[in-house]
Structure 1
Amino acid sequence: MENTATENGYWKDAKGNLVAPENIRESDRLADSIVRELYADAKRINEELVKFKQHALDDIRTHLALVVEKYGIKLRGKKGNRVLYSFDGAIKITINIQDRIKFGEELVAAEVLINECMAEWTHDANPNLRTIVEKAFQADSEGKISVYRVLDLLRLEIDDERWRKAMTAIKDSIRVIDSKEYVRVYERDDSGEYKALPLNIAVA
């Protein structure tokens, strides 16, 4: 993949400026060549992974549909995780469904109620509890609140009517935006543990 250039041979830089070839350092030419070759390889691998995922999903869904068909059942939708094993148990393939969640305006009510509780418990509250609560409603640099930290609050058993109302408000605030399917392949090692076969370049 060559640098985007005009018909007269000029190279375009990151700002969109046209630069004459003779004004480009050899090290920059080499870096450009390496990056574009690796990008082409990565693009090809990415396309293969996309094809593999769709192929895996289609095959597993077809298999499951055939299995349940003899019981007069038809699978509907994508909900539910699936697991298939090789006959010898050495290989395991899973399909996992992960919902993407955001919070509605009810979360504001939950935060107010929780803050009321924390203000009243100021002297007696466990410092660890205060830290958990404070972090739960801290927005990141993009203004987003961590779904996991907020949902962690639901695990806390606190005997206070306002706290229970706050937990109800959190539950009512949950909105499922969409669901994403993940295909994971595992192989069993000598100790009998299943180890994931890395299909993500970041963890390979």
Structure 2
Amino acid sequence: MTVDLTTLSSEERAALIKQAQELEQKERTEKREAYEAVKADAVITLVNISKDINEQLTNFKAHAFETMETLGDLLKEYSGRYAEGKGNFKVEYGDYKIEYNKQGKGSYDERSSEAEKYIFDFIESRYQGDEATKEFILSLLERKKGELDPDNIQKLYKYESTFADENFSRACELFRESYQYNHSKDYIRFYERNERGQWKNIVLQFSAI
């Protein structure tokens, strides 16, 4: 209904304006309350779901790493790999694959210098005139940025029983004792083969989905 304001008294106009303001205020209040109700429901629901997922992921992570560590130990025992290895490996079964990557760096403490001296004694006692063999063995002791290469040291271990030498065995023993693995972080990645035979990463990282 249209009201001709010119026909109303000042009191009537004031009352009408007050009524309109009250109606506008009521509408704002209703909209605010509706928004706050939707917000409260959304926040509570999403946070509770995220808490459930977080708990599931936490439990799954612990289970996954425990399982892969056990599998890695069994693989190490089965294959005869040395403890100095990084421990990275992957397993496949049917259309599924899991990769386990250990992030870190291996190094040797001061005992490695003593181990090297035993290697030098071994070389001088057995290969004094064999330059090729001497160079090969010494190449395994080359340092990069002051650090020995664990993969090269592992190659020495393979010859321990072959040489059956006291100096060589003592060197290997000291290398093993001096080895330290400085761990940073481990990763497990899961894959499934798609219909084209390609490995598809099963993404568990929220920002990557």
TM-score by length of structure 1 reads 0.47
**Structure label with greater radius of gyration:** 2
